[in-house]
A and B are shown apart, each in its own frame.
Chain A
Amino acid sequence: MGDEAPPETADAARLRYSGREATDMPLRELLTALERMYPPDRLLTNPAQLAAYESDALTVFKEQAGAVVLSETQSEVVDTVRLCARHGVPFVARGSGTSLSGGSLPVADGVVIGLSRLNRILKLDPDDRVAVVEPGVVNLAVSRAAAPHRLYYAPDPSSQSVCTIGGNVAFNSGGAHCLKYGMTSNHVLGMKVVLPDGEVSEMGGASLEGVGPDMTGLFVGSEGLFGIALEITLRLLPIPEVYRTVLAAYHSLEDAGDAVSAVIASGLLPGAMEIMDRLAIRAAEVGAQAGYPPDAAALLIVELEGEADAVDAEFSRLLRVIESSGAYEVRVARDEEERTRIWKGRKSAFSAVGRLAPDYIVQDGVVPRSRLGEALARIEALSRAYDISVANVFHAGDGNLHPLILFDGRTTGALEAAEELAGEILELCIELGGSITGEHGVGMEKRHYMSRMFGRAEMEAMERLRSSIDPMQLANRGKMLPLETTRAPGR
């Protein structure tokens, strides 16, 4: 496919692109070439149009792209990437722009490649239980298409009605139901990708098993740094016969946390175990009228799924565990409608928090499950020390926290204080032996914490790997791996 620019060393590339003016010329030349490829309504260059793409869902970051293209076919994407490579212009793939870490933030004077129109489900094979999709297909659309065959796509981010499979792949997105069946990467079997210099490569296939190093597994979660996924083969699962969902209210967050440990110790394997604290409950109430017990200090949602006989027997055990865990109110969803209502409150918690404060940052750190209680107590102490409200909604089963840090960006210094608090929470997760992100990705936001989590040798290895795949650092430049390791956290 030798259409790409001659390879250049990473150092040379960095030198060439370090100054902003230097990129203007290549960008202008690139635009001329793009004009030949795209009609005007799919090549956006004027500032009013570009404004719609200047942020993702983490709106504290803003950057204007040199241009946005709205690709409709895989070959348009490949050609665009090749042109970017030829002209040395960086590009950022964009699905629905719901990233919470600045992952789909444009690069200044770079090109944003919008993929939401590549939304075809190319194949749905119920016998082999796979779907082959383009990257702009919305997560929930896969399950909708599979439903007539009584199959579904398991990973369920709260944003699943809008976010795309391409974005899910880049971040290895998760959801409430990842405890049992895993995250995105556990459900991606194969891919066709365009590498950052325009070469197209396939990896994996339609089988659950592979041969050789698991390259599909490496590509998932690489945050757009290895190029753009053009076609993704997803594993489908049979829709469970029944779900049994219980909601338990507690007078303290600690009691809810202890209940999670008790469930785990009982040998049950729930599909989901979620906790919300007082502030998050209030947000869900305001946002979704979920009808949650209003005085609860913490709510625990536990769900079992599977074959009716098996789940019924396990559910009785679960209820015994929950009832002896100090819950003051236990509600069992009697039908699908009640189950939906329980989940609606939980799934709308992020957007609902927007009603409690003008701005928020959501963190996504992970701690060992047994240290959840300690982590939450320390976050509460930090919240008091900073005098900043923090709402907690989290995937308790796998120790994945989602502290929502509330602030008012119109107040001078409020954003900086919120970011400082966010940073302390990340440090806390690292200290407790966890991770800075469970599912939202590093993106722009957490890149300076990578070197706190990983040692120098690891950072260098990741940098070498990226440079070997993308010597010019064109794909999503500046995300995940910090540009200069010496810069202090913050921006």
Chain B
Amino acid sequence: MSPDQARTTSSSSSQVKEIQEAVRRHARVLATGGGSKPALSTPGDDGVVRIDVSPLRGILFYDPEEFTFSAWAGTPVAAVAADLAQNGQHLPFDPPLSAQGATLGGTVAAGANGSGRYRYGGVRDFLIGVRFVDGRGNLLQGGGKVVKNAAGFDFPKLMVGSLGRLGILTELTFKVFPAPRSTASLRADFATLDAGLDAVVRLGRSTFDLEGVDLVATAKGVSLWLRVGGLADTLPGRMERISDFLTDRSEPVRIERFENGEKGVVHWKEMASMEWAPEDGLLVKVPVTPTKVRQVDAAWASQGAIRRYSVGANVAWVAWPGSTRALDDSLADAGLAGVVLRGSSGHPWVGRPTGRRFLERIAAALDPDDKFGAVRSWPTS
């Protein structure tokens, strides 16, 4: 640990106490991090006190041989990624918005994953331990520091996607993986979304080890982006086989291959930065499946939404031009739910999420006075 980090660490402990006191003192609170997902960090309601966790930053512990690290929740993802990269390791789910200052805590709370989630899982699969302040102001620990642990209730997973509804994250422990030595990418253009989805489905049942599988709707149809990783000299051959597979089994209009260079990573960077989505309007994450995408895409297109289907068509990133209300209706019609990361304020969960009654019981235990619930209401079905 550098002297600089040691300093932040000791100051951070007293900041945790301040957070606990703030939770005890105020009737309604909202934790905020790096501000990279403004819809989630804007209180919206009067009387909600913001608790800024971004001063809680620094890596507390990183042991490359253990494949684990612990850090304060306000630590920028980019800072961690740089440390990991020095040891040939990474968080394989391409945490989004890291270039815009996303913090580890914000990434967990938003449950936000990038394209790399496809192969090894997302933030839920790599978070192994948490410390958080509950609605009583208690500092609680969940999970542990080892990569495998089945003791006690899985609080780390519960915190993923919780948007501060159940507590304020202060410290996080992740498992990490060795990063591939090299990567290569491929873009295949298809005339229709259906043709692109067919390819996604076929690839999903193939033996290719793909790290990223994204679909980008374009004016002329759809582009399928694939990424593979591994030892450099194996990549050209593997890419060749994937191209052959695509041309044999589907009807791509055009295939372009990119080795490790700038052009090859541009798509993945753009996906992570969300730069493709207009600054105004809503940016929404909607969990889907390939089957669901076939059902909903036309309706979204007709409403003027820009769509990107990431993680093998398991995540729809939707830039929504209309109102939250219209979005909510559209999701509800399709039996889907979403989380608004940018644009609206106040109530980021939209559509028809499952688990309401179970969540109520959980919230009653961790936040009995409903301190975090004011701006985090769960839509009723």
Residues of A at under 8 Å CB distance from B? 125-130, 149-151, 171-172, 174, 178, 180-183, 185-186, 190, 193, 195, 199, 201-222, 238-241, 261, 264-265, 267-269, 306-307, 309-310, 313-314, 317, 364, 366-370, 395, 398-400, 433-442, 446, 450, 453-455, 457-458, 461-462, 464-465, 467-469, 480
B314 touches A209 (CB 8 A): yes
- Distance in angstroms between the alpha carbons of A454 and B131 in the assembled complex: 12
- Distance in angstroms between the alpha carbons of A182 and B144 in the assembled complex: 16
Does B361 sit within 8 A of A, measured CB to CB? yes
B339 touches A434 (CB 8 A): no
A469 touches B349 (CB 8 A): no
Does B84 sit within 8 A of A, measured CB to CB? no
Pick from B65, B125, B290, B366: contact of A264, CB below 8 A. Answer: B65
Bin the interface of chain B by size. 35 or more
A214-B139 CB under 8 A given contacts A182-B125, A433-B146: no
B361 contacts across to A, CB distance below 8 A: 195, 468-469
- Distance in angstroms between the alpha carbons of A204 and B355 in the assembled complex: 7
A218-B157 CB under 8 A given contacts A210-B287, A368-B145: yes
How many interface contacts (CB-CB < 8 Å) are there between A and B? 279
Q: How far is the CB of B171 from chain A (nearest CB, A)?
A: 14
Does B258 sit within 8 A of A, measured CB to CB? no
B238 touches A309 (CB 8 A): yes
- Distance in angstroms between the alpha carbons of A130 and B155 in the assembled complex: 25
A217 touches B154 (CB 8 A): yes
- Distance in angstroms between the alpha carbons of A468 and B357 in the assembled complex: 11
A398-B151 CB under 8 A given contacts A241-B207, A313-B234: no
Does B138 sit within 8 A of A, measured CB to CB? yes
A213 touches B160 (CB 8 A): yes
17 pairs, A vs B, C-beta closer than 8 Å: A126-B205, A127-B201, A130-B289, A185-B157, A201-B354, A203-B355, A208-B314, A212-B162, A212-B349, A218-B157, A222-B153, A269-B178, A309-B238, A364-B150, A458-B140, A458-B142, A461-B366
Does B337 sit within 8 A of A, measured CB to CB? yes
Pick from B66, B286, B359: contact of A213, CB below 8 A. Answer: B359
- Distance in angstroms between the alpha carbons of A212 and B252 in the assembled complex: 37
A310-B315 CB under 8 A given contacts A202-B354, A206-B289, A442-B151: no
Does B122 sit within 8 A of A, measured CB to CB? yes
A202 contacts across to B, CB distance below 8 A: 354-355
Query: Can you name 16 extra interface pairs (CB under 8 A) apart from A368-B63, A438-B149?
Result: A127-B290, A127-B291, A130-B289, A207-B289, A209-B113, A209-B311, A211-B338, A212-B353, A213-B161, A213-B362, A218-B154, A310-B234, A399-B148, A433-B146, A468-B362, A469-B362
B337 touches A211 (CB 8 A): yes
Does B269 sit within 8 A of A, measured CB to CB? no
- Distance in angstroms between the alpha carbons of A78 and B49 in the assembled complex: 43
A307 touches B150 (CB 8 A): no
Pick from B125, B153, B231, B314: contact of A207, CB below 8 A. Answer: B314
A439 touches B66 (CB 8 A): no
- Distance in angstroms between the alpha carbons of A275 and B120 in the assembled complex: 24
A395 touches B148 (CB 8 A): yes
